[in-house]
Structure 1
Amino acid sequence: MSIPSWQVEHWARLQSRRQRDALPHALLLCGPQGLGKRDFLRRFVRGLLCQQPHEGDACGTCRSCLLLNAGTHPDYVALSYGLRKDGVQRQDIVVDQIRELSARLATASQFGGWQIASIDPADAMNHAAANALLKTLEEPASQTMLVLVADAPWRMPATIRSRCQRIEFQLPGREASLAWLQEVGVRDAEAALAAASGNPGLARLWAEQGSLAQRQEVRKDLAALASGRGDSMAVSKRWLEDAPEQRLWFAAQAVADEMRARASAQSAPLSSTLDSEGLMAWYDTANRAREALRGPLRGDLLLLELLGRWR
């Protein structure tokens, strides 16, 4: 099984530790969204539970592999967002989920090997859940492994991060990214990579979703608002209805390009009337708004205020 070049070293290091019977009881897979952390997790878990692996990869045909394919393997549990009592999906991982997971890991493996639990996204654990997880991390049972996956590990308590072996996925170089994008069939790889600020995973996803057209639309919206031709309320409504976090990413990126153009005395593409300090403040506010959209605040008011300040 081939993997992206930026994962090869991480994979080799884990397999070396496995051969020496020196795997940690807790792993933290972290780094920007889109670099394949979850694919890496699935590959690692399958290989670790497989009854006849080859160079760390699962055979795909043994009983363990078949149970994993069916989602019924007794020695693997994947924890993510649960449901509230009213059936609505939670926006965080809560303490009861962690307590149930810890109780599960305290029992013996049914296959006599590893028991593995993954928590994804681990940066969505609330304070009580993170505290409950600490005991399991500090007193792990034999042959158990916790694998935490986080796009934003800084949201997790330092006490959690410090008790995990950290595997950090970093953006590869431009040439490696372009080579991979071309290998997986992305057209206009350079434009896609630029849109994703050098992240090849996001570049592939956005190229497949047609998001490059959305990027241009966001820039046109900002230019129209800067010239007084646009309607902040209409734009905020349209953004809110279609991938608002992604649109804010593209908006912040466009403003960063505006600042770079000014710094090099080139024609600024958005023609904003904000001064350099105002542009920087708007850029910061756009990024904070992207984070805030995940919380309880009203998205329509966040976007309307932001776009009103831009105009």
Structure 2
Amino acid sequence: MTLRPWHAEAWQRLQARRERGALPHALLLAGAAGLGKRDFLHTFAQGLLCQQPADGVPCGTCRSCHFFVAGTHPDVVQLSFGLRKDGVQRSEIVVDQIRDLSQRLSMSSQFGGWQVATIDPADAMNAPAANALLKTLEEPSQATMLILVADAPSRLPATIRSRCQRIDFAVPSRDESLAWLTAEGVKDPAAALLAAGGNPGMARDWATDGALKQRSEVRGDLLALATGRGDAVEMAKRWQTNDPSRYLWFAAQAATDELRARAEGTKSPLESTLDDEALDAWYGQANRARDSLRGPLRADLVLLELLAAWR
């Protein structure tokens, strides 16, 4: 797994602590989706278990690396969304999962080295699960590394965040992002980066899966609604069928562009009839709607409410 250029500083800082034998017992990898937190996690965890790493980078050929890549390493525990009794995947990480994890970590390493446990997404733990994890963080087992991954770390209790060494993944500079996207073979890196709000990982993914077309679709829909030519119900149904969270991302982005055009005195791209205060409130509503999709609310109703407010 190749680290991304903007990972270099955090990687070297972590490896320096490893050289001194001063690694923390818990890490929190925090930052927006698309910045490579999980690539960083996998490389670091594999390197920690590797029998002959170079500057923390795994060799890829030793027995430990083979087990790790195959997903069968006995000293690795990966915790994510489990299944309910009826076989449906949960939308949160629950307390029983954390208790099982804590029990597993109380055992000795089978390879005689580190044990590595990951919780991803850690910000999906419910309150009882977070409380149960707190005890494990306060009483860590020897040679155990617990790594939490969170796209929205603010959802984690402060007591959890304060007991982890936090590594923040920030959006790199535009030049660094464009250079990386070009090296990744993205045909129009500038357009993809603009659509992704400067996030290079998202830009790379979106450049190949129709996201730029989706962005244009959102702007066309909002323009149609503002000029009385659109059907909010039809739009809500269409947005629901193909990654509604991304539709909402582009909707919030469009509102920002509308406000910017007004501030600069240029032509309004969406012809919204909302005043500046209402438009700013709509931007906030679009972002809250993205959060609502994580919960039990019906996506079509969330989308319809937002589109009706725009019209």
Task: Please tell me the TM-score bracket, short chain as reference.
Answer: over 0.9
Letter of the 2:295 counterpart: G
What is the aligned partner in structure 2 of residue 300 from structure 1? 300
What is the aligned partner in structure 2 of residue 171 from structure 1? 171
Segment drifting more, 64-73 vs 211-220: 64-73
CA distance in 2, matches of 1:169, 1:9: 11
CA distance in 1, matches of 2:281, 2:167: 33
Unaligned segments of structure 1, at least 5 residues: none
CA distance in 2, matches of 1:62, 1:121: 29
CA distance in 2, matches of 1:245, 1:49: 36
Shift of 1:294: 1.0
Alignment of 1:48-127 (within 5 A): 48-127=48-127
Question: Would you say 1:131 and 2:113 are equivalent positions?
Answer: no
What is the aligned partner in structure 1 of residue 237 from structure 2? 237
Alignment of 1:199-218 (within 5 A): 199-218=199-218
Shift of 1:3: 2.3
Segment drifting more, 34-43 vs 67-76: 67-76
Superposition RMSD in Å: 0.8
What is the aligned partner in structure 2 of residue 16 from structure 1? 16
CA distance in 2, matches of 1:298, 1:168: 32
SS at match of 1:305: helix
What is the TM-score when the length of structure 2 is the normalising length? 0.99
Question: Would you say 1:40 and 2:40 are equivalent positions?
Answer: yes
The runs of 4+ residues in structure 1 deviating greater than 2 Å are none
What is the aligned partner in structure 1 of residue 225 from structure 2? 225
CA distance in 1, matches of 2:28, 2:2: 22
CA distance in 2, matches of 1:197, 1:27: 27
How many residue pairs match? The answer is 311
SS at match of 2:146: strand
Structure 1 residues 166-196: Cα deviation after superposition (integer angstroms, max 9, x where no partner): 0000011111111111111111111111111
CA distance in 2, matches of 1:88, 1:242: 21
Unaligned segments of structure 2, at least 5 residues: none
Shift of 1:66: 1.1
Segment drifting more, 88-97 vs 293-302: 293-302
Shift of 1:57: 1.2
Percent of matched pairs sharing the same residue: 67
What is the aligned partner in structure 2 of residue 151 from structure 1? 151
SS at match of 2:207: helix
8 Å CA contact retained: 2:3, 2:39? no
Shift of 1:2: 4.4
Segment drifting more, 103-112 vs 59-68: 59-68
SS at match of 2:170: coil
SS at match of 1:135: helix
